[in-house]
Structure 1
Amino acid sequence: MRKNLKRDNKHGFLDHYFRLFVFAFLLLMIFLVPIAQPSFLKLHDISEIPKVTLIRVLTGFALLLWAIWVYVSRKELNLPPKVISASVFLFLISWIISTIFSTNFYLSFFGSYMRQMGFLTYFFYFVIFFLLYNVVENYTELKYFYWTVFITTVIVDFFGILQLYRLMPWYERVRTESRIIATLGHADFLGHFLVMVMPIILSFIYYVKNNVLRVLLYVLFLASFLVLLGSYTRGSWVAFLAGIIIYYVFVLWKEKGFFTKKNKIITLALVLGLALTVGIFYITENKLYIEKKDVGLFSLKERFESIGAGLRVTQQNPRILTWRDSIRLFEDKILKSPRIIYGLGPETFSFNFTPYKSLDLARYDGGKGYPDREHNEFLDILFPQGLLGLLSFIFVLLSVFLYSIKNYNKIGAENRILFLGTLIGWLSFLIQGLVLFGLSATYLYFWMLTSFIMLFFKLEKPDSIWKISISFLFRVFILIIFTFISIFSIWISLRFFRAEIYYRYGLDYLNSGEVGKAVAVLEEAIKLRPQETAFHEAVIKAYLGVMGGAENEDIKMEAFRKGESHINGLLKNDYYKSLSNNLVGAFYAQAYHYLGQKDKSLIIKAEEYLKKALTYDRYCVPPMENLLKMYSTDLVDEKKALEMANRILEVDPYHSQAANYVARVYFQEGKFDKSKEIYERLLSRNSNDKDTLYNLGVVMYKLGDLNKAEEYLLKVINLDPTYESALNLLRVIYKQLGKEDKIKEIPLNDKVYVQKGLEAYNNKNYSIAIEYFKKALSYNPNSPEIMNNIGACLFMLNKYDEAIAWFKKALELKKDYVQAYGNLTYAYIQKGDLISAEDTVNEGLKYAPNDENLKELKKKIEELKRR
């Protein structure tokens, strides 16, 4: 008996600690994944990579510990109810089959570069679902996860509010519009995350007894709503509204005594709080966005009113156009083949779809991109996983929902409100999923909520647990299989993440022109992940840079050979086939010039790859641009060049390169009216394009309309008084009109004097330069650039106090003027005022934390202070 007792104690000890560590890894992952956004990865568009890495590594450790735990002491597995478990296992099988028979196994297994949502990642969502169900044994433990979700939401909201109020310099540098992303990488996924967690926060506001805690949750709910509005994500707004309506309808239906006096007050406070938040956001929007057009425009009112319009088929609705165009893909590649069962394979939609892309969809983005997913959760399962995947997923949804409704009353009255919040968050994911797909953090939370829903029944209804006895051999099998999967996943994920760091720094070197360093770092990335298309693409561009910058012919040839050696790697797993082939074509075309135009076979290869790019996407503009350039210069085939230019204009009627080529051909043929139409179309898009204005002036001159020609040319001179061709033609026109003296009346502006001032500065005539800059300032009195130039001249004359005054004036008008911060710092250093110099450089670094000049100045100040 003592031996048995000792063994039981030992097993109890092991059970406790194995469960504790699995629990901890899952808790840590749910906390970290939504907020993972390492600054050293530079850009917000790759936020999925650290998130996916965390999922695979932390769940890998959790799975490894669980497998050892099962082998050591578990004699049975506890699974959710049979119908739920069966549906989830069937969905997993659909993933396995579609990955095995994929049109590109590598992409389907590991995922495309940006998303990485292949089988390896998705497998761990199934693991998370079952592990959570296994390790949580009471409501206290379940609430640890809920409070972790709330803490994560606080951090997400914090960064969202910083971005909303433009208090985050990093985000200000990468933003292209007024939508905010917090830590989720994209506004749509920020909204997707919030609509899942907000119903749970709402439930806890009613649930908690502590009033201080209730107020904090209330503030968190309203902060989340403010951030949700700032995402400008219409799908999440609809999901949130639908979820809230379902929530209260369900409460009225199932919880008759819910609306006590206290809960009525809470509900009224919530309604008033939401209304107040909308008002705060409306004021914010007008002050920070609508009045500041440089950050991009979105309007709460316009976005809300356009929700219904988004269901119409127009050029401005890429989702609808994608769904429509994919019908042909479905009919051609899926419907009449075995792929109707298992689909095209996860993460392969992009290259399978582009041959079926319509002109309407191409026109939406000017022929320079295409969707990599269907933007509908159900279609995003149907196309890669076929009917087996879609039907099994629907089976999961129906079985979970119907089981929840049927057994709702089995949950204790006190905990039903928490269950309802969880269920509504789960439903909200699916509602927004009608116009979006999930990514790392949102899929994680969806499967987490699915497991939580089942946990309520596990804790309240023990007979719902599906208990499976496992033999020793099966435990050994579990240990071997899951140990291999865990170790492989941890190893490959950390390896890929390391490769990503090399790649990002390689891109930095490439963008800054340090191509030698870029090549070295990118080659290291490729050693770690040789199958990745993006890495080969970057290194090919780097070798082109080496060829372009080298003078030695041997170095050029070596760079060409190394660049060419990466072409197979680029094309093997490319998910944007048209753009990949375009890059190869551009590589050969540029190499032809860099190597002295000696090998004609290079230009022929370039043409072949560029044509091949158009077989994958006949509306892809980049290869057309390269072919147009090639036909108009290297191959000198005007007929083909004109054909290519017209193809570009079919996709993008305002394409400058193509439009100018066609207009020039018409001009040479004497078809001035047709040339005029094209230039006028370009001018309607950009009324201040001086080259288009000049060309229109020339055309009007040829048409004999001298007054109109004069009008256009004067506009050119107003934009650029140094535009010599326009000045010369104006002289000719005035001579023909007998108005030679009128050339003297051409109005001057600040640009003329700035140009003369810069010439004087470069010639070290600083006093004369100041005179020119001050004349420029009389034309443009609010120009911080001119003020900075005056300060620079005074600095060179050793008039530091006066220089400081001008630099400060420039910064008053433009708070993020980095050059002025540098100049002001220099002036303070020259005066010996290191305190002011340090304050100035620190202020500048807030706006430009990566500016090399400011960082060097900061180091210099620190050295001077040490001396």
Structure 2
Amino acid sequence: MSSKISRLCEAIIEAGWLAALIIVPVFFNVYSSRVFEPDKISLLRSIALVMIGAWLIKLIDGGGAAAPLPASATQTPRGNLWRQIRETPLIIPALLLVSAYLISTALSVAPRISFWGSYQRMQGTYSTFSYIVIFFLTLTHLRSRVQLNRLLHAIVIASLPVALYGILQHYSLDPLPWGGDVKLRVAGNMGNAIFIAAYLIIAFFVTLERFLRSAGRLLAEQGGEIADALLVGSYVFVLVVQSVAIIFSQSRGPWLGWFAGIYIFVLLGLIALRSRATRRGAGFFHWAWLGWIGLAVAGVAFLISFNLPNSPLAALRSVPYVGRLGQIFETEEGTGKVRVLIWEGASQMILPHAAITYPDGTPDPLNALRPIFGYGPEAMWVAYNPFYPPDLAHYEARNASPDRSHNETFDALIITGAWGFIAYVVLFGSIFYWTLRWLGWVRNRQDAILFLALTLLGGLGGALIPWLALGDLRYLGVAIPAGLILGFIVYLTISAFRSDFTLADDRQPGAPAARHPLGHRRALCRNPLRHRHRRHAHLLLDVDRRPARHRPGLARPFGRGTGRGDVCGGRHAVVLQHAFSVCGAHAHGRDPA
């Protein structure tokens, strides 16, 4: 029985992750020098410290490191600590990422900056560990359906003012005089058009899940309540506002992620309808999924032809909004040219090279280790100058040195080296794998091997094809994640063609339930559209770092995973980490203000 102090500390911890979800995305300070990024980071760091303080007080009070499971959950022996760590999905990949940051910080060319973060961004190891601390505290203290609903509602609520502010900017109703153009491409509370779109596509799918759940209750045979009707209307309004703001951002990368997320979301729903239609003899829904795949293939073909030189669709590139989709492969002008030039230098940094020189003339003594462990967080701008392409000075200020490569893969390789990149890929690969396993899309060893083979072949092909075609590694950072995601989507599509394939919650009555990897039955929701993790995979497609950064547990199940019948067993924990990392998103672009 926990004491009042322990329960108070648990309440403070929950208030911390809710505050991070609601306040951090909305907050910015026009009276500071940078307005957005350092202010959001400082706020998030402070929230993490308060949560740690509450956890320590709870620990001293004897409340335990984790919140107790609900009384309805049948608990099983937890075993030793190593067994819990080994058997809890995503914990080991998260710890690998922690080790990569610790090593790269210790070996950094600028250790103090790597730990605390630069003055402009504050995205050092301290900030990364703040994200991870909130992840672990959420992992160990989110235990009930009520808590889960509060978390999801917080994401939806926080996204509304962000989206509305972006729409106000588009119609020139913003009272603040920003230095950049926030009408053509809105920036909202994030300070960058890419960041607001990346944040909103995450909130969009959470809102869509809430809408479907409320609509399901409203359309149930026993009839819904007035509150359900009001919720459905509210969610529709929020979805429309989010969609309009995403479109007004005119950010190509988030748009692609949005489209990919919608494809997978709808595919899951149609697969569920296929299973039920087979039992009820409804022919249309039995084949609707196939038409959806065909429509997706046609959409991909359109995008490719739209971006080819001398395309017959070239006239559409002058059409507002639609024309942005015809500039995906733009590399000879604008921001595309700048990024390619930065990637040219970044590709040289990650390969063996002559030692860089410190200001006092001393060569870097750890040069041989740089490809393995990197230069350290926030240290790219310190080490980049020897690799600066001269042509870049024609597109950016001559005295400016890039502090980010505008690419997640290159950033991981530069700041944490090959070790950190491997940890990063293992982390995201684990998220996708466990998501599919909990959904029933990976049912046996053969499925796991096929999933692993397709994703690895996709990533390997993405790395080799540009290198063989162009002879350099400039596009390595885009090609690898694109290949990994392509392999992931191909696996999902292949799974949909299986005649015996059903989602986890659509088995015939009496069929054995899928078991959680820790041994307890999953308490999955009735509507398979609730499962949102895979929609967030699209964040890797964009060449800029998204708010998918620094979240070691999108798909972690709530609870310790030791009880049978856990109220949130098998659920996707730490979806909130997406919103926490709105700060992290700012680390990889330039504010328009």
Q: Normalising by structure 1, what TM-score?
A: 0.44
Q: Is the contact between residue 133 and residue 451 of structure 1 (CA under 8 Å) also seen in structure 2?
A: no
Residue of structure 2 equivalent to 1:252: 270
Q: Equivalent residues in 2 for 1:747-826 (5 A)? A: none
**Corresponding residue of 1:34:** 25
Instruction: For residue 426 of structure 1, report the CA deviation from its aligned partner.
Output: 2.8
Q: Does 1:153 align with 2:170?
A: no
Give 2:27's aligned amino acid: A
- Which amino acid is 1:232 matched to? Q
Task: Give the match for residue 377 of structure 1.
Answer: 408
Is residue 437 of structure 1 aligned with residue 545 of structure 2? Answer: yes
In structure 1, what is the equivalent of residue 50 of structure 2? 61
1:834-845 paired onto structure 2 within 5 Å: none
Q: Does 1:420 find its partner at 2:531?
A: yes
Cα distance between partner residues in 2 of 1:389 and 1:322: 21
**Aligned counterpart in structure 1 of residue 380 of structure 2, from 342, 349, 360:** 349
Alignment CA distance shift 1:245-1:359 (3 Å): same
Q: Is 1:329 the equivalent of 2:349?
A: yes
Mapped to 2, the partners of 1:163 and 1:211 lie a distance apart of 31
**AA at the equivalent of 1:120:** Y
Match of 1:455 among 558, 566, 583: 558
2:558 aligned partner, one-letter code: L
Aligned-pair CA distance for 1:413:
5.2
Greater displacement, 169-178 / 323-332: 169-178
State the 1:465 CA deviation: 8.8
For residues 53 and 19 of structure 2, the distance between their equivalents in structure 1, rounded to whole angstroms, comes to: 16
SS at match of 1:317: helix
Structure 1 residues 176 and 153, CA, compared in 2 at 3 Å: closer, same or farther?
A: closer
Distance 1:339 1:321 in 2: 21
- The answer to whether the 8 Å contact 1:99/1:105 transfers is yes
Q: What is the CA-CA distance between 1:402 and the residue it aligns to? A: 0.8
Of 243-252 and 142-151, the range deviating more from structure 2: 243-252
Deviation (angstroms), 1:358: 1.4
Q: Contact (CA 8 Å) 2:90, 2:556: kept in 1 or not? A: no
In structure 2, how many angstroms separate the alpha carbons of the residues matched to 1:104 and 1:461? 49
Native 8 Å contact 1:315 1:361 kept in 2: no
Provide the C-alpha distance between the structure 1 equivalents of 2:177 and 2:259, rounded to a whole number of angstroms.
Answer: 29
Aligned counterpart in structure 2 of residue 181 of structure 1, from 179, 187, 203: 187
* Structure 2 counterpart of 1:143, from 149, 155, 175: 149
The answer to whether structure 1 residue 52 and structure 2 residue 52 are counterparts is: no
Cα distance, 1:132 vs. partner?
Answer: 0.7
Contact map agreement 1:36 1:183 (CA 8 A) in 2: yes
1:333–1:86: structure 2 CA closer, same or farther, 3 Å change rule?
farther
Cα deviation for residue 12 of structure 1 reads 4.0
Q: 1:17 aligns with which of 8, 20, 34?
A: 8
Which of 82, 90, 108 lines up with 2:88 in the alignment?
Answer: 82
Q: Answer yes or no: is the 8 Å Cα contact 2:385–2:401 preserved in 1.
A: yes
Instruction: Write the distance in 2 (CA, Å) between the matches of 1:152 and 1:74.
Output: 31
Structure 2 partner of 1:234: 252
Structure 2 residue ranges without an equivalent (≥5): 68-83, 218-227, 293-317, 356-365, 440-503, 505-513, 515-521, 571-593
Q: Larger Cα Rg: Structure 1 or Structure 2?
A: 1
Residue matched to 1:393? 424
Distance in 2, Cα, partners of 1:299 & 1:367: 32
Q: Name which of 311, 321, 328 aligns with 1:300.
A: 321
Aligned pair 1:121/2:135, yes or no?
A: no
Contact in 2 for aligned 1:59/1:124 (Cα 8 Å)? yes
* Distance in 2 between residues matched to 1:424 and 1:242, nearest whole Å: 10
TM-superposed CA distance for 1:415, in Å, is 5.3
Q: CA RMSD in A?
A: 3.4
Secondary structure (helix, strand or coil) at the match of 2:191 reads coil
The answer (yes or no) to whether the contact 2:90–2:431 under 8 Å persists in 1 is yes
Instruction: Name the counterpart of 2:371.
Output: 340
Farther off after superposition, 220-229 or 402-411:
402-411
Hey, what's the Cα distance between the residues in 2 that align with 1:460 and 1:223? 40
Q: Aligned equivalents of 2:170 and 2:28: distance in 1?
A: 17
Distance 1:57 1:333 in 2: 41
Residue of 163, 188, 205 corresponding to 2:211 = 205
**For residues 20-49 of structure 1, what are the alpha-carbon distances to aligned partners after superposition, in whole Å with 9 as ceiling and x for unaligned?**
1111122112110001112333x6x53012
Q: Cα distance 1:316–1:215, how it changes in 2: closer, same or farther (>3 A)?
A: same
Partner amino acid, structure 1, of 2:30: S
TM-aligned CA distance change 1:22 to 1:193, over 3 Å: same
- 2:222 is the alignment partner of 1:111: no
- Within a 5 Å distance, the mapping from 1:571-610 to structure 2 comes to none
Residue among 392, 412, 433 paired with 1:402: 433
Residue in 1 aligned with 2:239? Answer: 221
Contact 1:203 1:418 (C-alpha < 8 Å) held by counterparts:
yes
Give me the whole-angstrom Cα distance separating, in 2, the residues matched to 1:76 and 1:30: 23
Rate the CA distance shift 1:26–1:13 in 2: closer, same or farther, 3 A. Answer: same
Deviation at 1:229, TM superposition (A): 1.2
Partner of 2:97: 91
Counterpart secondary structure, 1:454: coil
The 1:63–1:451 alpha-carbon spacing in structure 2 relative to 1, beyond 3 Å, is farther
- In structure 2, the residue corresponding to 1:16 is in which secondary structure? helix
CA contact (8 A) 1:382 1:389 kept: yes
Q: Which amino acid aligns with 2:107?
A: F
Identity among equivalent positions (%) equals 21
**Larger helix share, 1 or 2:** 1
Q: Which runs of 5+ in 1 are unaligned?
A: 1-7, 272-296, 467-867
Does the CA-based 8 Å contact 1:200-1:418 persist in structure 2? no
Tell me if structure 2 keeps the 8 A contact 1:315–1:363: no
Render the CA deviation track for 1:672-719: whole Å, top value 9, x for unaligned: xxxxxxxxxxxxxxxxxxxxxxxxxxxxxxxxxxxxxxxxxxxxxxxx
The one-letter code sitting in structure 1 at the alignment partner of 2:264 is I
CA deviations on 1:806-842 (whole Å, 9 max, x unpaired) are xxxxxxxxxxxxxxxxxxxxxxxxxxxxxxxxxxxxx
1:239-297 CA distances to partner (integer Å, 9 max, x unpaired)? Answer: 10111112112333355357999xx9xx9xxx9xxxxxxxxxxxxxxxxxxxxxxxxx9
Report which structure shows greater RCO (CA 8 Å, sep ≥6): 2
The CA deviation at 1:417 is 3.9
Counterparts of 1:159 and 1:134 in 2: how far apart (Å)? 35
Q: Secondary structure at the match of 1:345?
A: coil
What amino acid is the match of 1:184?
M
Contact 1:314 1:321 in 2 (8 A): no
1:234, distance to aligned residue in structure 2 (A):
0.7
Q: Distance in 2 between matches of 1:67 and 1:56?
A: 16
- Number of residue pairs the alignment of both structures matches: 415
Please give the alpha-carbon distance, in whole angstroms, between the structure 1 residues aligned to 2:204 and 2:133.
25
For 2:372 and 2:107, the matched residues in 1 are separated by: 11
| Inter-partner Cα distance in structure 1 for 2:120 and 2:182 | 19
